[in-house]
Amino acid sequence: MSSDSPINSPEKLESTFGKRLRNFLIVMVAIALSVSLFLGLRTETTSATLAKLSETSTPLEVAVSNGKPSLVEFYADWCTVCQKMAPDITQLETQYADKMNFVMLNVDNTKWLPEMLKYRVDGIPHFVFLSQQGETIAQAIGDQPRTIMANNLEALITGSSLPYAQASGKVSKFSAPAAPTANQNDPRSHGSQVVN
């Protein structure tokens, strides 16, 4: 019997080693692609959200008194149009953050009821363009293309008239409550704050 049996031949060892190396490389590439795909999708979905915009929002009280023009957006977390526009608003905020204020007001928070009534919010997203003095210049309702919003913001910053002052697009319907939803039996509430 010969010591070089076909099972342990050098050709057989090389082909086994080559197959293992190839399989190892395939596994490593698959893992790298999976990780990059996971991280890519994760950063894409979390990069521009309404919650993140709300967190970085300028408070309304500051926006109307700091001498910068402002874009006020009335939104809701459930609003699909608002969610769709979040990446565009994020890009615009990044582009113009040093020149103007971006204010996010959630219509589901009754704290903003006076503002919802003042600006007659009946569909969202509802955008209000405020001058440097905090005065209303224009309003836009619904889905707005990024270029239209950018043109309006450029005009707002320079003090020019807005080219798309009364733009209207697809909205999510919203009905503002006539009164705050707080418990009216509270002795400190002094009755309803809104009189019909």
Q: How far is CA 99 from the centre of its chain?
A: 20
The answer to whether the beta carbons of residues 79 and 51 sit under 8 Å apart is no
Residue 27 DSSP class: H
At residue 47, what are phi and psi to the nearest 5 degrees?
-75, -35
163 preceded by a cis bond (ω within 30 of 0): no
What does the DSSP assignment read for 39-91? HHHHHHHHHS-HHHHHHHPPPHHHHTTSSS-EEEEEE-TT-HHHHHHHHHHHH
Cα–Cα dist 49/43, whole Å: 11
Catalytic positions: 79, 82
The answer to whether the beta carbons of residues 108 and 77 sit under 8 Å apart is yes
